[in-house]
A and B are shown apart, each in its own frame.
Chain A
Amino acid sequence: AQSVTQPDIHITVSEGASLELRCNYSYGATPYLFWYVQSPGQGLQLLLKYFSGDTLVQGIKGFEAEFKRSQSSFNLRKPSVHWSDAAEYFCAVGFSGGYNKLIFGAGTRLAVHP
């Protein structure tokens, strides 16, 4: 069965430090890959997505993610974190072939120290 794993439940970084949030998926083919962010009390906002082509994708708010087929991973990165990045981050996968829904990981809550 398809699944998405975000191994880190909580991450704390200092403002200005770099960030990497991990995401692994289980699926036999290349899925559609997404990162969403959820600020407290808000809905989910799409940060970036990967369907095909260049495996390094750029998103909003200075985020990027890299698809690594050999590792079944789609890790999210940001070179310098801002206090406003504190939120919960969700990795999600979608699959082609008429399977139209997204499966979400459990989320990683990011705290940013000043």
Chain B
Amino acid sequence: DAGVIQSPRHEVTEMGQEVTLRCKPISGHDYLFWYRQTMMRGLELLIYFNNNVPIDDSGMPEDRFSAKMPNASFSTLKIQPSEPRDSAVYFCASSRDPPGNTIYFGEGSWLTVV
């Protein structure tokens, strides 16, 4: 089975540019999570979806961030406009009904905003 697939793995962009991160969850998983990891704040949950519907977006830092899940096999996290403080590793994860079922993480998208 393929795991959670994220793209791009690495992105360097200039401040003010739009960034789109993509995620393909594991087939059959109906929960999808977006996490951000930084040295200062550790792992933070940004938003999660259940059956393609956003359930909790309280962790989204501000309006510059948006996430969509148009279908069960694809999700995007968009930052527009990007700022240097958005530099972080963004992880996508998926599971069947958590927390009783394991949440599986992708390898992350390493974003640098200069």
Residues of A in contact with B (beta carbons under 8 Å apart):
32, 34, 36, 42-46, 49, 51, 90, 94-96, 100-107
Q: Which residue of A lies closest to B58 (CB)?
A: A101
Q: Shortest Cβ distance from B19 into chain A, in angstroms?
A: 19
- CB contacts (< 8 Å) of A95 on chain B: these are 99
For A101, what are the chain B residues with a Cβ–Cβ distance below 8 Å? Answer: 33, 45, 48, 56, 98-99
- Taken together as a complex, chains A and B put the C-alpha atoms of A95 and B102 apart, in Å, by 13
A90 contacts B43, C-beta separation under 8 Å: yes
Q: Please, how many angstroms separate the alpha-carbon atoms of A98 and B11 in the complex?
A: 35
B48 and A104 form a contact (CB under 8 A): no
Tell me which residues across on chain B come within 8 A of A44, comparing CB atoms.
91, 93, 105
Which residue on chain B has the smallest CB distance to residue A98? B55
B13 at the interface (CB under 8 A from A): no
A46 vs B33: C-alpha distance when bound (angstroms): 16
Of A32, A43, A104, which one neighbours B42 at CB under 8 angstroms?
Answer: A104
The answer to whether residues A102 and B42 also contact, given A43-B91, A43-B106, A43-B108 and a CB cut-off of 8 A, is: no
Residues of B within 8 A of A105 (CB): 42
Q: How far is the CA of A96 from the CA of B101 in the complex (A)?
A: 12
Complex contacts, B104 vs chain A, CB 8 Å? 46
- Chain A residue numbers with a CB within 8 Å of B55 are 100
